[in-house]
Structure 1
Amino acid sequence: MVPDVGLVPIRLVKGNLSKVPPHVQQFIAKYVQICRPKGVFICDGSDEEAKEMTEKLVERGTLVKLESMDNCYLCRTDPADVARVESKTFTITREKFSTVPHVAPGVDGQLGRWMSPEDAEKELGSRLPGCMKGRVMYVIPFSMGPVGGPLSKPGIQLTDSNYVVLSMRIMTRVSGELFKVIGEQGEFVQCVHSIGAPRPVERKVINHWPCNPERIIISQFPDERKIVSYGSGYGGNSLLGKKCFALRIASCMARDEGWLAEHMLIMSATSPEGKEHFIAAAFPSACGKTNMAMLTPTLPGWKIKCVGDDIAWMRFDKDGRLRAINPEAGFFGVAPGTNTKTNPMAMATCSKNTIFTNVGMTSEGGVYWEGLEREVDPDVEVSGWLGDRKKIGDFKKSGIKAAHPNSRFCTPASQCPIIHPRWEDPEGFPIDAIIFGGRRPEGVPLVFESFDWNHGVLLGAALKSETTAAAEHKGKEIMHDPMAMRPFMGYNFGDYLRHWIDLNKPGRKMPKIFHVNWFRLDSNGSFLWPGYGDNIRVIDWICKRVDGQDNVAIESPIGYLPTEGSINMDGLNDSYRTPQNWQKLFSLPKDYWVEDVRETRQFLDSQVGIDLPTPIIKQMDLLQERIAQM
């Protein structure tokens, strides 16, 4: 018997519609009517379900089993579908300036892309009808955050990609229990995704990866709590619980409900004395969030625990403490550069039950990417992500990458050896410090602290970094990435800054705010700071400041800098411990800062304009005055 829900009959491949709340049934039926799949598969998130899908994808050639690893698989995408596509990502609202700021005349706005409902209807109307013909529509009930938790939010994703189903199962909490939660709560975020390749497929399929890259569009409808993504199977565009829901839609929820949804890692650092501090840190994509979240400390006695490596949802509790959860259940990490030196915990985490995308595969059935040269026999033959078969050394000589610069591992967070034992605590963790940071090759000190909350918000608003391969940018240039949220803003950035400022209310214990820069270079182009596990030395200083130690900081025009010797350098190479190196790490070249502040002001004036909150303008004025008096 074919169940009939509303508009069209639904041919069930698997599942029981009687357990699905009526308003969810109507959501499914609406898109069955539009997308015309051959059947509907209601997912339950079980191991059996995943095993069955995995076997089908291996049989089809989409996944390749990695024989030397435990339940790990490799996927290679169409080379035209390898990264987030910011230029084709839009937020749809009736009022334009509820989404984007009032930019200066003739300026191309960088803080979000707006589309009118009429244009969105036209664009999606030319893509969605019949887009799933010949394919199964998978219904994925998922939770961002522990199922039923007070800080958690449920969603339903419809997709015609079982690769997406398997990845969502790792990255979110997929469970049939969500239908009961949604039935009780009523609300859920509607997520619709199609690779845009109805059968019979007209575009040539490469690497068993059907997609429609020429017609990609990723659209967020914050007022409707809805996401529609078309044309791409790549994670950032297709795993809709991630950036689309957990940042773009959730930032609007957070504005409306008085909390924060941020592009931040969450970690705890426990001192040798046994005191634990919780830290949230915002860096642009591929700038070291995962490395910091899983840091292996070089200072004796310190312990790091990971709560999350990418996204933090934070609310103030009844006692005025800002508490954070990691809404995700997995890590979607950048593979190149990850190794047992830079991030041994990530390497251990992704050693089993992992889907790798666009990395190289060794002839022994393992994985390879740039950064693993010292850990894989150089004579081993590697099949690169584009199909080239070479020895590792020959890849380097040829200039061809074995792995795409944005290749990924999708792996369960629960497998991380240093995952916090309470990482799924639905009440979240009290945040003591917020850190902003980016790749700044010159001028910016290793670490400094804001003077107060509003000054800290300015530090986030002025965040800049070298571009990376996580999006479609080419080459290296310093780009503004305010709050590390530039590609992920769900609403007007001026209103977003005002929301941050307004959170500072009487009775609340506001976290201290810091800025870090692991990437400052000397005149020879070498890093002045060793980074990685030695970043614990900076975290040690940050914890001292959180604990109220005044004698370890000195006031400077840009904020509080460490007093010389207040960062523990014991055990470092002698070259890092010299007074000259300290001076290079913390110097403030006046000409550089005069220009930096001028350029930052120009950016905020042109990109945010009349929407820039008065307290931020005041902070810019004060900073500019202090720099002028250096």
Structure 2
Amino acid sequence: MDPLNTLGNISSPDQAEKLFKVKLDSTQSAKMAKIKHPEVLIRIANAIALCRPSKIFINTGSEQDKETIRKIALEKGEELALAMSGHTIHFDLAGEQGRIVDRTYYIAEPQDLVSSLANRMPPEKAAKEIEKHMSGIMENLTMIVGFYMRGPVGSPVANPALELTSSAYISHSAELLYRNAFDNFDREVEQKGYFFTNVHSEGLNRTEDLPHARVFMDRKYQTTYAWKCTYAGNTLLLKKGNHRFAVDKAVYQDRGRELSEHMFITGIGGPGGRTTWCAGAAPSGCGKTTTAMAGNVFIGDDLAQMWIAQDGSIRTINPENGIFGIVEGVNDEGDPLLMKVLRQPGCEVIWSNVLMDEKLKPHWVGNMEPAPEKGINFQGEWHQGKTNEKKELIPISHPNSRCTLASDNLDNFSPEATNPDGVVTRIFTYSGRDADTMPPVWVAKNPDAGVVIGACIVSATTATEVGVTGIKRAPWANAPFIPGALGDYMDAQFKFFNNPDIKKHFKPVMAGLNYFLTHQARGGDSSKLLGEKRDVKVWLAWLERYAHNEVGYLSTPIGNLPCHKDLAELFEQIIDKDYPRSLYDMQFALYTVKIIQRIELQEKAYAKEENFPEKLFEILAVQKTALLNLKEKIGDVIMPDYFENLI
């Protein structure tokens, strides 16, 4: 059962055309006439029939259309103009400052395999919910219809997608984050043989409606539905909603040839002016944008589509064309290129859930600037010292406050981002908010062990998910977006990175990254980081040299670690900083008890999954046995010099 076509009750292009004649004015009809693909027409018509908008605006991506969308966003009050030209601010409901994971469902038959980490609902029940809440939801509102590509037009792994929304803020955001492909949409759909459909309405946008807000994802018909919510992670369905469909495609249609990952893409400079491309996974709120910007040239900070090209290389594109980035902690010291866009005129930026002061200037936690005495933020009027009902201080901005901007505003933006052939990617990193266990960087000894690094990400939770706290596993930093069984996803990872078509000189370097280690974790009494945010430039530089066999390494049970000599040279060369042996020892000592506990956590969790690849358990068992032997022989803490003496 396809809820959209069933509820809209339009099954032919002729029926769609008749509806368009009634609902579209002459200007919008002329634009719509350029779209010919019958399935696209039927999908749009059924969304109109279901939601019953008072007006329809066809967004072709022209400058005139973009300006119209900006004006609608301001007129509706979805955005407010800030002092700096081109800057606006959007506030979500106080109770919707992140993904509503408890109200997000896959539409699935009982026999369908769905991730054990997700909610599900059968099609008949979902259709009733959609009809109840979306029928007529756009009355007295304008539906904006957008035609996008998730990736450069012509790329083999780019996805065509429709965005149908009553929110001008969401449409405005889509214009910054994605490629409007109105002129190429028919051809891309014809060539690809599919397209994604996204239907959203904020409705009346009232606090009392939020408990009834839902996000539904129909994998069979590649359609998402969202209502009574405005946070972009729930409503900009081109993003994580369609990312889920792209994951499905990689796992169940192109297994071993394609992957869809929650990864940044950055280029790391090496000797002789070369650039080595790196893709890295990290849960939202765990420094992914910062790490992406630590490279020399930038393509993306959140999502990556990759495939094995005919030349035997792994190629990667960014399905997005912009940044929807967390701003807490963004400042001149750690993020100078991003701060230049945010604080200097000339760029278009949508802010969300930061504080707007009386001079219409945005402020946020961690910007290292003087804070205003009062203003308006995510919960309404704010002043220094204001508390909530629990007598807790209300911060100047929400931890999940965002900035939305087009990537080509950044000084280090790479033109390769527009290349439909993607970039040759050699390095793959996996990281989380790990305060006490793993070293800053370690490299898997083979692709299978690299897949296991990704599967074993553990992180402190962040503000990106409503109502989620504590420490949790975050497999591949992609688990919330894996629709099917985790075992199938892991099998796809093993098959992809071991694909015999990958040429030897393109073999992947797969590594763990962790720059959240604290002094407390290594015998100190401070909760401060054991190092600095900018140190990630060095960890990436070392991986770049490792990929080209230009540095040595220490072989350990968890993987290969850098040698102090190489790191000290890179610290001086890359960030002009001393790197004493004492700090190296603290960062790269193996704390066997904690690492063994981490392994056992993964073994226990994955044992609950059905049909899970035994390879994971075999690799973890080998690592645990080796660590137990070292613990018995040497003690709880293994210093790097032990492994140096084995060289």
Given the two structures, how large is their TM-score scaled by the length of structure 2? 0.86
**What do the CA deviations read for 1:564-590 (whole angstroms, capped 9, x no partner)?**
332134389999733332222112122
Alignment of 1:253 with 2:249, yes or no, is: yes
Q: Is the contact made by 1:350 and 1:411 (CA closer than 8 Å) also made in structure 2?
A: no
Residue 98 of structure 1: SS of its match in structure 2?
A: coil
Shift of 1:354: 0.8
Query: Cα gap change, 1:58/1:137 in structure 2, threshold over 3 Å: closer, same or farther?
Result: closer
CA distance in 2, matches of 1:196, 1:379: 31
Alignment of 1:346 with 2:338, yes or no, is: yes
**What do the CA deviations read for 1:479-509 (whole angstroms, capped 9, x no partner)?**
1000001211122110010011112122413
CA distance in 1, matches of 2:393, 2:266: 37
Q: Is the contact made by 2:198 and 2:238 (CA closer than 8 Å) also made in structure 1?
A: no
**What do the CA deviations read for 1:522-577 (whole angstroms, capped 9, x no partner)?**
1223445433332121112111211124x621111111112233213438999973
**More relative contact order, 1 or 2 (CA 8 Å, 6+ apart):** 1
Query: Cα gap change, 1:34/1:575 in structure 2, threshold over 3 Å: closer, same or farther?
Result: closer
Q: Is the contact made by 1:343 and 1:532 (CA closer than 8 Å) also made in structure 2?
A: no
Q: Return the match for 1:315 from 292, 307, 322.
A: 307
The answer for the alignment partner of 2:132 in structure 1 is 126
**What do the CA deviations read for 1:259-310 (whole angstroms, capped 9, x no partner)?**
0100000000112431211000000101111111112xxxxxxx71001100
Shift of 1:474: 4.6
- Where does structure 2 lack aligned partners over 5 or more consecutive residues? 1-13, 631-647
The answer for the alignment partner of 1:40 in structure 2 is 56
Residue 73 of structure 2: SS of its match in structure 1?
A: helix
CA distance in 1, matches of 2:176, 2:153: 14
**What do the CA deviations read for 1:3-42 (whole angstroms, capped 9, x no partner)?**
9626846411434332122322211221222222223221
Equivalent position amino acid for 1:314 in 2: M
The answer for the alignment partner of 2:539 in structure 1 is 538
CA distance in 1, matches of 2:410, 2:188: 30
CA distance in 2, matches of 1:122, 1:394: 43
Equivalent position amino acid for 1:32 in 2: I
**What do the CA deviations read for 1:84-119 (whole angstroms, capped 9, x no partner)?**
11222222233545222xxxxxxxx42x33332233
Alignment of 1:27 with 2:43, yes or no, is: yes
Aligned length: 594
The answer for the alignment partner of 2:354 in structure 1 is 359
**What do the CA deviations read for 1:140-179 (whole angstroms, capped 9, x no partner)?**
1111111233332211111111111111111111242144
Equivalent position amino acid for 1:35 in 2: C
Equivalent position amino acid for 1:437 in 2: S
The answer for the alignment partner of 1:585 in structure 2 is 587
Structure with bigger helix share is 2
Q: Is the contact made by 1:148 and 1:181 (CA closer than 8 Å) also made in structure 2?
A: no
Shift of 1:389: 4.2
Q: How does 1:153-302 map to 2 (within 5 A)?
A: 153-182=159-188, 184-185=190-191, 187-197=193-203, 201=204, 205=206, 212-245=209-242, 247-255=243-251, 256-257=253-254, 258-295=257-294
Alignment of 1:64 with 2:76, yes or no, is: no
Alignment of 1:73 with 2:105, yes or no, is: no
Query: Cα gap change, 1:41/1:364 in structure 2, threshold over 3 Å: closer, same or farther?
Result: same
Residue 620 of structure 2: SS of its match in structure 1?
A: helix
Q: CA RMSD in A?
A: 2.5
CA distance in 2, matches of 1:458, 1:181: 39
Query: Cα gap change, 1:499/1:46 in structure 2, threshold over 3 Å: closer, same or farther?
Result: same
CA distance in 2, matches of 1:306, 1:134: 42
Shift of 1:138: 1.5
Shift of 1:81: 2.2
Equivalent position amino acid for 2:366 in 1: G
The answer for the alignment partner of 1:328 in structure 2 is 320
CA distance in 1, matches of 2:408, 2:536: 24
CA distance in 1, matches of 2:219, 2:138: 25
Q: Is the contact made by 1:337 and 1:370 (CA closer than 8 Å) also made in structure 2?
A: yes
Residue 167 of structure 1: SS of its match in structure 2?
A: helix
Q: Is the contact made by 2:78 and 2:168 (CA closer than 8 Å) also made in structure 1?
A: no
Query: Cα gap change, 1:354/1:484 in structure 2, threshold over 3 Å: closer, same or farther?
Result: same
Q: Return the match for 1:521 from 501, 506, 518.
A: 518
Residue 239 of structure 2: SS of its match in structure 1?
A: helix
Query: Cα gap change, 1:97/1:525 in structure 2, threshold over 3 Å: closer, same or farther?
Result: farther
The answer for the alignment partner of 1:595 in structure 2 is 597
Residue 501 of structure 1: SS of its match in structure 2?
A: helix
Shift of 1:193: 2.6
Residue 176 of structure 2: SS of its match in structure 1?
A: helix
The answer for the alignment partner of 1:299 in structure 2 is none
**What do the CA deviations read for 1:197-237 (whole angstroms, capped 9, x no partner)?**
2xxx5x7x47xxxx932112212222222222222111111
CA distance in 2, matches of 1:576, 1:519: 19
Equivalent position amino acid for 2:306 in 1: M
Higher mean alpha-carbon deviation, 234-243 vs 55-64, is at 55-64
Alignment of 1:337 with 2:343, yes or no, is: no
Q: Is the contact made by 2:270 and 2:545 (CA closer than 8 Å) also made in structure 1?
A: no
CA distance in 2, matches of 1:595, 1:534: 27
Q: Is the contact made by 2:572 and 2:578 (CA closer than 8 Å) also made in structure 1?
A: no
The answer for the alignment partner of 1:368 in structure 2 is 363
CA distance in 2, matches of 1:183, 1:248: 19
Equivalent position amino acid for 1:354 in 2: V
The answer for the alignment partner of 2:641 in structure 1 is none
Query: Cα gap change, 1:50/1:212 in structure 2, threshold over 3 Å: closer, same or farther?
Result: farther
CA distance in 2, matches of 1:186, 1:575: 50
Equivalent position amino acid for 2:542 in 1: W
Q: Is the contact made by 1:575 and 1:581 (CA closer than 8 Å) also made in structure 2?
A: no
Alignment of 1:11 with 2:23, yes or no, is: yes
The answer for the alignment partner of 1:497 in structure 2 is 490
Alignment of 1:135 with 2:141, yes or no, is: yes
CA distance in 1, matches of 2:460, 2:222: 32
Q: Is the contact made by 1:151 and 1:427 (CA closer than 8 Å) also made in structure 2?
A: no
Identity %: 25
The answer for the alignment partner of 1:298 in structure 2 is none
Q: Return the match for 1:465 from 431, 450, 459.
A: 459
Q: Is the contact made by 2:308 and 2:501 (CA closer than 8 Å) also made in structure 1?
A: no
Q: Is the contact made by 2:146 and 2:180 (CA closer than 8 Å) also made in structure 1?
A: yes
Residue 91 of structure 1: SS of its match in structure 2?
A: strand
Q: Is the contact made by 1:354 and 1:410 (CA closer than 8 Å) also made in structure 2?
A: yes
Alignment of 1:426 with 2:420, yes or no, is: yes
CA distance in 1, matches of 2:573, 2:555: 28
**What do the CA deviations read for 1:585-616 (whole angstroms, capped 9, x no partner)?**
1121222122221111101112x2x3211222
Equivalent position amino acid for 1:5 in 2: A
The answer for the alignment partner of 1:403 in structure 2 is 397
**What do the CA deviations read for 1:50-87 (whole angstroms, capped 9, x no partner)?**
222322332333321111x1311011122122211122
- Where does structure 1 lack aligned partners over 5 or more consecutive residues? 101-108, 296-302
Q: Is the contact made by 2:16 and 2:42 (CA closer than 8 Å) also made in structure 1?
A: yes
Query: Cα gap change, 1:424/1:276 in structure 2, threshold over 3 Å: closer, same or farther?
Result: same
**What do the CA deviations read for 1:358-405 (whole angstroms, capped 9, x no partner)?**
111122222101112x334x45653333232436x8899982212111
Q: Is the contact made by 2:96 and 2:466 (CA closer than 8 Å) also made in structure 1?
A: no
The answer for the alignment partner of 1:300 in structure 2 is none
Equivalent position amino acid for 1:59 in 2: E
Alignment of 1:484 with 2:484, yes or no, is: no
CA distance in 1, matches of 2:485, 2:148: 28
Query: Cα gap change, 1:183/1:616 in structure 2, threshold over 3 Å: closer, same or farther?
Result: closer
